[in-house]
Homo-oligomer: A and B are copies of this chain.
């Protein structure tokens, strides 16, 4: 069973994934080749994955058979385990609990397409529907507080096997540190200004225009003012909402379109770079602190952060939390805005 341990000084959680246990010699083997034969995520290879959790299927087709458009399967090397109780406890000065959670893989297409930008908007919309369905389902489990929706594309971004386009969902029994930091920052702002900080950012960006990449159908893609990474891009809904899963059916196709266009621009301009995308959304607003979490609905504004992995994070960043970005976001935005992707 993996273990969640908390650093007593900073409060950050770490997952000690002992089942992936690595001894020194395991690190000596050079890592990071993408294996891309016998892809288990292609239609017709359903028996090569664990049994599916969910699939968007054509009527009349059976689970774990062809006939699906998006398919969700358990990770074969989950970082958290679905079985068991949390058993929160202390050991002297330290806090720990069992590594209970969910780790699911969302296979975004039945064909062996590598890049999400190469999927049709209709297909990306189905992926969004699937994210929302799965998160809403995981929310019913009282052990979980948050679900991270993310994608690792390319070796440098953490993908190691098969080029088949897919993303991941990880449900955690704690609210992660970075999520709490965004919530605390936006709460502080709201408490003082009685306005959502992200709405104010959007207003200033749309007025100024120099960091805007795309502005279509109720969504905006910007290069954020304090971009940590070259070509870092955020997609935000113009309509205030703290919760990605509450995106109305009517807006999902628009979101699919801007996501496809943004990813296509990044792919075309940077030579198909490795990247991560991460959905930043409100945690489940239940449990002991339901009242507190309720305030998030005003304070917070969900968004997607896309990070091309072009620079290395070194000692300075690890020591300070200050990032060094060699590309001013205004230049990145101008380049991406003007790039014609046909």
Contact = CB atoms under 8 A, between A and B. Distances in A.
A322 B226 contact: no
Interface in A57-80: 79
Q: Count the copies.
A: 2
Contacts of A321: 12, 176-179, 181
A325 B226 contact: no
Contact of A24 (B172, B224, B269, B316): B269
A165 interface: no
B14 A320 contact: no
Interface residues of A, number: 94
A319 interface: yes
Interface string A207-246: 0100000000000000011111011000000000000000
A315 B204 contact: no
17 contacts: A7-B225, A7-B226, A9-B182, A9-B186, A9-B197, A14-B226, A16-B227, A23-B327, A23-B335, A24-B231, A27-B310, A79-B324, A93-B200, A148-B319, A158-B315, A176-B320, A177-B322
A17 B324 contact: yes
Contacts of A329: 16
B24 A314 contact: no
A278 interface: yes
Contact of A270 (B28, B93, B152, B176): B28
Nearest to A8: B197
Contacts of A182: 9-10
A325 B197 contact: no
The residue among A17, A156, A231, A312 with the most chain B CB atoms within 10 A of its own CB is A312
Judged by DSSP, the binding face of A is mixed
B277 A315 contact: yes
Interface of A: 3, 5-18, 20-24, 27-28, 32, 79, 92-94, 146, 148, 150-152, 156-159, 168, 170, 172, 174, 176-179, 181-182, 185-186, 189, 197-198, 200-201, 204, 208, 224-228, 230-231, 269-271, 273, 276-280, 305, 307-308, 310, 312-316, 318-329, 331, 335
